[in-house]
Chain A
């Protein structure tokens, strides 16, 4: 790897830790970001000449902190001074001494806090994700705008507004207690999952941009798991992302149409990601403390382990959905369980299971997609057609609509019973 590529990787991988520490020192996001930016510039000058530091993050924190303290001194007539101890020892502090203070217990809360401030409940989901990509991941506004299919200036505005909102919010800077830490972890996990879904759902941007979002979500999940290695739901989240991302190459065909799980070319699945995801699921489930991410990951693992669609262990999937329904009751979970029921006990049973959901899922594409497929299997073709028409009207993407049209074509071509549709 060239020097520059190495430096780039080191800066990216240190970013959350460095920013998190700076945020704790200065309690101001702009100060922290400016200081980090300056430290990166100095790294680009110094590292190629002097070689890489032993601990890039410690180097960056040291340089950034000194820079920020100098800046604050320069402006001290206008602004209050930082805490006295910070100024007092900043001149004779050494990199080694600072590195020693970066014990894991401290910086893991720093990183968690940094992620957590992006999850402010007043911020709409898309702003939370945009903010995390800007602050935690360090993507440029241009890159984020491209991912969300908006103009650069619109995204700039969005991020500025979101930032001023979180600046006004109270964030506790003391080390959080167990309950507070658990709440922060849950919020951050949800945000990372949404980030992944933004990349996964094919709703916007090019394939390249979407893959970048998915990979970034996986990087953040792994980072969180390294910091909290015994958190079963973070194991579950990481596993879920790995297992879903493993199928990325098989999910869309050459025309960008969604390929259903059962029609996917399983040779395109990434076996290494599947193995890692499955290992994490196993590790989490040992604790017998299941949560929604773990169970969803376990379902994904069952699918991933089937060499062919016919080998799928539907009884196990049904059992897992039953657990998920108890943990997190939702009509969408029941809808998914109905797919397993259709495989195990036939379309009639599945249909009677989803019919009560009509009121709550009346605007949901997948509800009508599944309903249509089940009706088709039962030979109730007119009703199937009506359900598919409704699904097309509700489709979010061209690929979803195209997929249903394929069903409609088959319906016209032959009325032979076919397998039901299922999430891709």
Chain B
């Protein structure tokens, strides 16, 4: 069975860490990742940019594009896509295509800050 593990933290707290502290944290996490990768059990790992870089596309036949993250707490995360786009406009177009097929909810576009495409075997 493949599992996804989603990481949560207060964004304000993350922003209050210095670059140095953040680098230290990332290298501690890298140790765990390397162990999993060596066992052939690690799939893609992504670090997302802060929600300030997010754009949200509301689902529906005529999708509305909004700045910022999808902030409703009544909806839950159901899945995600990683798409390669040259511009934000392209990414919005992809999200719009998906949004038109969805009856409700939203698609939040978050640029990826770091990506490692390792795949589990």
Contact = CB atoms under 8 A, between A and B. Distances in A.
Interface of A: 1, 5, 9-10, 12-14, 17, 56, 211-212, 215, 218-219, 222-223, 225-226, 229-230, 235, 238, 272, 275-276, 279-280, 282-283, 286
A222 B21 CA distance: 18
Given A13-B15, A226-B11, A230-B66, 12 more contacts: A13-B10, A215-B19, A218-B15, A219-B16, A222-B15, A222-B52, A226-B52, A235-B67, A275-B49, A276-B50, A279-B49, A279-B53
A5 B16 CA distance: 11
Nearest to A230: B67
A272 B111 CA distance: 11
Nearest to A285: B88
Interface string B94-121: 0000000000000000010110000000
B51 A226 contact: yes
Contacts of B50: 222, 226, 276
A320 to B, nearest CB: 17
B76 interface: no
Contact of B68 (A222, A223, A230, A276): A230
Given A1-B25, A13-B10, A215 B52 contact: no
Nearest to A215: B18
19 contacts: A9-B17, A12-B16, A215-B19, A226-B11, A229-B54, A229-B69, A230-B67, A275-B49, A275-B111, A275-B113, A276-B50, A276-B53, A276-B113, A279-B53, A279-B88, A280-B52, A282-B87, A283-B55, A286-B88
B16 A9 contact: yes
A13 B111 contact: no
A138 to B, nearest CB: 10
Contact of A280 (B17, B18, B53): B53
A9 B21 CA distance: 11
Contacts of A226: 11-12, 50-52
A9 B13 contact: yes
Contact of A14 (B12, B19, B54, B88): B12
B84 interface: no
Interface of B: 10-13, 15-19, 21, 25, 49-55, 66-69, 87-89, 111, 113-114
Contacts of B49: 275-276, 279
Nearest to A231: B67
Contact of B13 (A13, A215, A218, A222): A13
Contacts of A10: 10, 13
A223 B67 contact: no
Contacts of B114: 272
Contacts of B67: 229-230, 235, 283
Nearest to B112: A275
Contacts of B113: 272, 275-276
Given A230-B66, A276-B49, A286 B13 contact: no
A111 B99 CA distance: 34
A26 B12 CA distance: 25
Contacts of B66: 230
Across the A-B interface, give the 8 residue pairs with the lowest CB-CB distance, nearest first: A229-B68, A13-B12, A13-B16, A230-B67, A225-B52, A12-B16, A279-B111, A282-B88
